[in-house]
Amino acid sequence: MEQMFYEKLIRIIPEKRVLRDEVMKKHTTFRVGGPADFFVMPGSREELRDITVLCKSEGMPYYIMGNGSNLLVSDRGYRGVIIQIYREMSMITVDENQITAGAGALLSKIAGSALEAGLTGFEFAAGIPGTLGGACMMNAGAYGGEMKDVLKEVTVLTPEGEFTVIPAGELDMGYRTSVIEKKGYVVLETVIALEKGEHESIRKRMEELREKRVSKQPLEYPSAGSTFKRPEGYFAGKLIEDAGLRGYRTGGAQVSEKHCGFVINTGNAEAKDIMELMKQVSERVMEKSGVLLEPEVRRLGDF
């Protein structure tokens, strides 16, 4: 069964971009996760569409990811196909005040292109460690800026296998959500509209935000960024700190001493450690403050 499916896959996509039993800790910023049955890296929207059509026709589960910056994969791995939209679909072009980029482009690279072109408005995203596709789906934001502020339009693949362009005004973007997520669309490409700015002031702003991140976030450890969503009216990190959990650990997973909103891998954590720590943190915060913490990190596989 798996061999037959593999043979069908490599008719769609070159064999070198189809990996079997690929360990997911290589592909997540948490640096944990067991093997996926298949790990494929499409290089075009057509390859992506044909892979999803094949999976559906064969009843094969699949999951679409970027660079794994907001993902916790089970130690048991994933029974199905991981489709990674990353380096193979990461082109970036600049035309006047607009940047067109593939869903696999890193936000940091897009910010670099904006700086080079003297375009302002994307500085907030320079330090977000993710790809454009996930950032659009979840309306990523930082330091007062959000993706909804800069998007002009997004090209997506629909669950029916069609390519369509959605104007920014129809994306229904809110806190960590959008119509893209709600309707199961897959981002392929995005047009970002910025404003002409002064190169030096753009560079200074990016540097200022970089220094803030370095001083306040545990960037020296593997993590998935902010582990929990921000509860309305509160800050997750403050609630966790107030519950006495700064530095609290389970196995190799730890609540960061530098920023309590981050769960980090101290070097030898397994996914089960991270999952258990997240559970204990949620329970303790609920006991202490009565506030429910919801995970921002997406979980994949059986825990």
- Alpha-helical (H) ranges within 217-248 are 236-242
Residues 47, 193: Cα–Cα separation, whole Å: 28
232 is catalytic: no
Which among 87, 108, 296, 299 is annotated as catalytic?
A: 296
226 flagged as catalytic = yes
pLDDT band with cut points at 50, 70 and 90 for residue 176:
confident
Catalytic: which of 176, 223, 270, 282? Answer: 176
Cα 162 from Cα 167, distance rounded (Å): 16
* Tens-place pLDDT, residues 99-129: 999 999 999 999 999 999 999 999 999 999 9
Question: Residue 23 pairs with which residues in a beta bridge?
Answer: 35
> For residue 195, what pLDDT band results from cuts at 50, 70 and 90?
very high
Determine the Cα–Cα distance for residues 48 and 294; give it in Å rounded to an integer. Answer: 31
Which amino acid is it at 51? I
Mean pLDDT calculated for residue range 59-82: 97
- Secondary-structure breakdown of the chain: helix, strand, coil percentages, each rounded to the nearest 5: 35, 25, 40
157 pLDDT above the threshold of 90:
yes
Torsions phi, psi for 109 (to 5 deg): -70, -40
Pick the catalytic residue from 74, 223, 226, 282.
226
- 3-class DSSP state for residue 33? coil
Instruction: Tell me: pLDDT of 1 over 80.
Output: no
Alpha carbons 71 and 29: distance in angstroms, whole number: 8
Could you tell me the two tokens for 230?
Answer: 């921000």
Tokens at 207, concatenated: 């540097």
- Based on DSSP, count helices (H) and strands (E) in the chain, helices before strands: 8, 18
Does 74 participate in catalysis according to the annotation? no
